[in-house]
Chain A
Amino acid sequence: MAIASAASSASRAELPQPAPEPALEGHAINFFYGERHALNDVSFSIARGEIFGFLGPNGGGKTTLFKVLSTLVPCQAGTVRILGRDLRRERADIQRRMGVVFQHPSLDDKLTVAENLEHHGHLYGLRGSRLRARSAEMLARVGLSDRARDRVETLSGGLRRRTELAKALLHQPELLLLDEPSTGLDPGARREFNDYLAHLRRTDGVTIVLTTHYMEEAERCDRIAILNEGRMVAIAPPGELKERIGGDVVAVRSAGDPGTLMARIDAALAIKGTLVDGTIRIERQRGHELVRDLVEAFGDQIESVTFGKPTLEDVFVHLTGRRFFIEGTADSAGE
């Protein structure tokens, strides 16, 4: 398998080729949990070698999509092609070529790191000296060689995630699928993990598809798809999405009733804002001038004004009219 994939990537570089087949392609994917429409006509195409992120709030549908793509749940409606194979008819073939990293590591706590890798290798048909060599290599790559004989229950969250990654890469997958890979990691460990994914794509040409609700992680993807309430609302490189907003974002918190203030701003300055969770949001070129005008005109009615370049969170608000973090979870509120 290694030889075949090396040969094909070499030929791709040298010869003009017809448009290469996408690594992952979904068309009109629908998924229902009983009455709840968890995925609503989701379609996308991910190129080989791409780092692609599905961004969305919890409950947006990205975990369901992950379950469909990873073969954990059947694809109820629509078509999915992974690495050129049909998800329904060529499931086992896809499973052999894909590595999956779960949000809650799929490791056995009572076994050592090396034993976990050994079992995983056996499930994918690796054995004997080849398995041992591959296992040692992967542990060295994720910096866990000295922990190989330790039980997983003695490892920290970050080290478990690395073990999970070593496990997912053991059988040399062409596609790596990760569900919320940086949940539970501190910012340093998260950056390190994302650095490693970028490195992996560079050196091995692995296509990386992840779900995330961290803006910072989404920023590092080549392209992202934004999911909201089961629908895909945008798919583009993060930079392009932010440019679509155009200009700056000014957010005003009113000292009194925000609706009244918004109407007054419209009357005085002819500027229409949108009200999101009690905050008036205005997207505009030369936002700093607006801040000055607002403070001069309504200084006594304003509690705070913030001004900034658009972030992916602003993109999300722009596209859906609602805030990204509804519950405002502690670890994500600061993003």
Chain B
Amino acid sequence: MLLQIYTLWKREVVRFVRQRSRVTGAFLQPLVFWALLGVGFNASFRPAGTPGTVSYAEYFYPGVIALVLLFTAIFATISTIEDRKQGFLQGVLVAPIARTSIVMSQALGGTTLALMQGIIFLLLAPIAGVALSLSAVAATIVIMALVAFALTNLGLIIAWRIDSTQGFHAIMNLILLPIWMLSGAFFPAAGAPGWLAWVMRLNPMTYGMAALRESLYLAHPGSLGSLPDLTFSTVLTVAFALVTYLAAVRVASRAVAV
């Protein structure tokens, strides 16, 4: 079983690396986002509920890390749809491998790719004005892995149900991007109107985002403002990752090959 998961995981990674446009696209897009939005909003906006020392560009930086994870996870799940169209998945489905293992390999593949991109983006922390310690980097990598795993599974739940990449893009804009936008990545819940703050509180990604911020600022939590507690956020993120995995397995087990 481990050999099966390993081999499918390895394939995902090799495939990704061989498609250079995917590698640069997944990295450059959030970078451009951050540069334009972060710098553009910087002069006009101060994130509500944070100490005055935090600029918008700095506030937005962890949000962009989450966006990098989201984009890479999305690209990884798009490859699931391609596999189905090109027939590769058929070969896997008739092999003596459990659907739980197939989904695990896909989720781990997406997580690995997202993590590689996330770590590269983490190197930009000093530019954003975030001073990192070794423990902060370690904690951030763990949280990034959890968040990426959950997001990949979320993408897989959708990818196993539909058979066109166009359909996937529509659903991505409708579900995945709002989940990111309303997680505190873009603006803090503190400044949002009551109903929106509630939506944000119910969004599981909010806790992944909070955990990400808290692990980044592990050494100086003072510059964070009001956020859910790190332990609480981490536990909820683990739960989020687990629930999405089980849901993806469920969808994949019911899915019938094209």
Of residues 66 through 105 on chain B, the ones whose CB sits less than 8 Å from some CB of chain A are: 86-97
Closest to B91 in A: A106
Interface bits A43-87 vs B (CB < 8 Å: 1, else 0): 000000000000000000000000100111110000000000000
Cβ-based interface call for A122 (8 A): yes
Which residues of the partner chain A approach B94 to less than 8 Å between Cβ atoms?
Answer: 70-72, 95, 98, 100
Which residues of the partner chain A approach B256 to less than 8 Å between Cβ atoms?
Answer: 72-74
- Given known pairs A72-B93, A107-B88, the reply for A127 and B15 (CB within 8 Å) is no
- Given known pairs A102-B91, A104-B87, A119-B7, the reply for A95 and B96 (CB within 8 Å) is yes
Cβ-based interface call for B165 (8 A): no
A165 to chain B, nearest CB (A): 12
Of residues 4 through 35 on chain B, the ones whose CB sits less than 8 Å from some CB of chain A are: 4, 6-8, 10-11, 14-15, 18-19
Partner of A108, one of B3, B11, B95, B257: B11
Partner of B6, one of A73, A106, A108, A122: A122
Whether B95 contacts A109 by the Cβ 8 Å rule is: no
Partner of B95, one of A110, A124, A127: A124
Which residues of the partner chain B approach A110 to less than 8 Å between Cβ atoms?
Answer: 14-15, 18-19
Whether A123 contacts B87 by the Cβ 8 Å rule is: no
Which residues of the partner chain B approach A25 to less than 8 Å between Cβ atoms?
Answer: none
A69 to chain B, nearest CB (A): 10
Whether B88 contacts A72 by the Cβ 8 Å rule is: no
Whether B7 contacts A118 by the Cβ 8 Å rule is: yes
Whether A96 contacts B91 by the Cβ 8 Å rule is: no
Whether A67 contacts B7 by the Cβ 8 Å rule is: no
A83 to chain B, nearest CB (A): 13
Q: By CB atoms of chain A within 10 A, which of B6, B90, B256 has the most?
A: B90
Of residues 85 through 128 on chain A, the ones whose CB sits less than 8 Å from some CB of chain B are: 92-93, 95-96, 98, 100, 102, 104-111, 115, 118-120, 122-125, 127
Of residues 126 through 144 on chain B, the ones whose CB sits less than 8 Å from some CB of chain A are: none
Chain A: interface size category:
20 to 34
Closest to B16 in A: A110
Closest to A104 in B: B87
Partner of B97, one of A73, A106, A123: A123
Whether A104 contacts B86 by the Cβ 8 Å rule is: yes
Whether A127 contacts B3 by the Cβ 8 Å rule is: yes
Which residues of the partner chain B approach A167 to less than 8 Å between Cβ atoms?
Answer: 91
Closest to B4 in A: A123
Closest to B6 in A: A122
Task: Please report the C-alpha to C-alpha distance between residue A115 and residue B3 in the assembled complex, in whole angstroms.
Answer: 15
B75 to chain A, nearest CB (A): 14
- Given known pairs A100-B91, A125-B3, the reply for A73 and B11 (CB within 8 Å) is no
Whether A123 contacts B257 by the Cβ 8 Å rule is: no
- Given known pairs A123-B4, A125-B3, the reply for A108 and B15 (CB within 8 Å) is yes
Partner of A106, one of B10, B90, B96: B90
Partner of B87, one of A92, A106, A127: A106
Q: By CB atoms of chain A within 10 A, which of B3, B19, B93, B95 has the most?
A: B95
Which residues of the partner chain B approach A118 to less than 8 Å between Cβ atoms?
Answer: 7
B15 to chain A, nearest CB (A): 5
Whether A122 contacts B90 by the Cβ 8 Å rule is: no
Which residues of the partner chain B approach A122 to less than 8 Å between Cβ atoms?
Answer: 3-4, 6-7
B250 to chain A, nearest CB (A): 16
Whether B15 contacts A102 by the Cβ 8 Å rule is: no
Which residues of the partner chain B approach A124 to less than 8 Å between Cβ atoms?
Answer: 95-96
Closest to A109 in B: B86
Task: Please report the C-alpha to C-alpha distance between residue A115 and residue B18 in the assembled complex, in whole angstroms.
Answer: 13
Whether B7 contacts A123 by the Cβ 8 Å rule is: yes
Task: Please report the C-alpha to C-alpha distance between residue A100 and residue B6 in the assembled complex, in whole angstroms.
Answer: 22
Partner of A115, one of B14, B19, B90, B95: B14
Which residues of the partner chain B approach A125 to less than 8 Å between Cβ atoms?
Answer: 3, 96
Which residues of the partner chain A approach B19 to less than 8 Å between Cβ atoms?
Answer: 110
- Given known pairs A108-B11, A122-B3, the reply for A72 and B90 (CB within 8 Å) is yes
Which residues of the partner chain A approach B10 to less than 8 Å between Cβ atoms?
Answer: 119
Partner of B90, one of A95, A102, A111, A123: A102
Which residues of the partner chain B approach A102 to less than 8 Å between Cβ atoms?
Answer: 87, 90-91
Interface bits A127-147 vs B (CB < 8 Å: 1, else 0): 100000000000000000000
Task: Add 9 more A-B contacts to A71-B94, A106-B91, A123-B96 (CB < 8 A).
Answer: A72-B93, A73-B257, A108-B88, A110-B18, A118-B7, A119-B7, A122-B7, A123-B4, A123-B7
Q: Pick 14 A–B contacts, CB within 8 A, sort by A.
A: A71-B93, A92-B96, A93-B96, A95-B95, A100-B91, A100-B94, A102-B87, A106-B88, A107-B88, A111-B15, A118-B7, A120-B91, A120-B95, A124-B96
Closest 7 CB pairs of A and B: A106-B91, A122-B7, A95-B96, A123-B95, A104-B87, A92-B96, A72-B257
